[in-house]
């Protein structure tokens, strides 16, 4: 990470940059840029160089300083919808947003279907979980019987009944 300023030593430049930020709203509040802004209200700063290139957008500068580098074609987004805000807690680059989205989706699919033959809907998984147990049969026979009804494998039924998969079903049942 190479940060340079053409007009000031880096440390002085960072102090200078910081002096244009109003942090009076506290750690979690919006930090408006009180220096020059563009017509849309986004802060502009002209002394910051990153990897040999001038970066003028203050949202980008704050992201680079506090969160990390940004791929060139990505935008820095404000969760607060407040253009002059440069609080890094309110900023994210495209990749970050995409990552979060992917993580959510990954989490959702992992929670549901782990392993093979587990393409069940939540409703089916709940139905399997609450399916009556035949006490005249051994466990294995029960798993196979239920699996046949839901067109899945005995292993999947076992995992659902033993709470190894579809854990959120059990959370749903006890959570409300
Ligand atoms: Zn903000």
Per-residue pLDDT tens over the stretch 54-81: 899 999 999 988 888 887 778 888 888 8
Average pLDDT, the chain: 79
Distance from residue 149's CA to the centre of ligand 1 (Å)? 53
| Interval between CA 86 and ligand 1 midpoint (Å) | 6
C-alpha 122/C-alpha 133 separation (Å) is 20
Cα 133 to middle of ligand 1, angstroms: 55
Distance (Å) from CA 22 to ligand 1 centroid: 11
Q: How confident is the model at residue 52 (pLDDT cuts 50, 70, 90)?
A: confident
Hey, what are 12's tokens?
A: 């002085």
pLDDT digits (tens, 9 = 90+) for 116-149: 444 677 777 777 877 888 888 888 899 999 888 8
- Rg of the Cα atoms in the chain: 27
Q: In what order do the strands lie in the sheet with 49-50?
A: 3-4, 49-50, 53-54
- Cα 14 to middle of ligand 1, angstroms: 20
Ligand 1 centroid–CA 85 distance in Å is 5
Q: Report CA(81)–ligand 1 centroid distance (Å).
A: 7
State residue 117's pLDDT score: 44
CB atoms inside a 10 Å sphere around CB 24: 9
Instruction: Please name every residue paired with 44 in a beta bridge, in sequence order, or none if there are none.
Output: 57
Taking alpha carbons only, the member of 111, 112, 113, 118 closest to residue 154 is: 118
CA 7, distance to chain mean position in Å, is 37
From the CA of 78, how far away is ligand 1's center (Å)? 7
Tokens of 150: 């839901």
């Amino acid at each position: 990470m190479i940060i340079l300023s053409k007009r000031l030593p880096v440390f002085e430049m960072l102090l200078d940059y910081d002096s244009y930020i109003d942090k009076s709203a506290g750690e979690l509040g919006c930090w408006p840029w009180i220096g020059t802004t563009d017509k849309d209200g986004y802060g502009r700063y002209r002394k910051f160089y990153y990897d040999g290139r001038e970066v003028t957008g203050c949202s980008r500068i704050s992201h680079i300083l506090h969160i990390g580098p940004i791929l060139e074609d990505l935008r820095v987004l404000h969760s607060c919808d407040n253009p002059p805000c440069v609080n890094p807690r309110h900023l994210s680059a495209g990749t970050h947003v995409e990552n979060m989205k992917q993580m959510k989706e990954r989490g959702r699919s992992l929670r549901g279907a782990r392993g093979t033959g587990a393409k069940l809907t939540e409703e089916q998984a709940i139905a399997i979980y609450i399916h009556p147990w035949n006490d005249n049969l051994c466990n294995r026979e029960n798993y196979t019987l239920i699996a046949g009804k839901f067109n899945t494998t005995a292993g999947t039924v076992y995992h659902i009944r033993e709470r190894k998969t579809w854990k959120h079903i059990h959370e749903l049942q006890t959570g409300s």
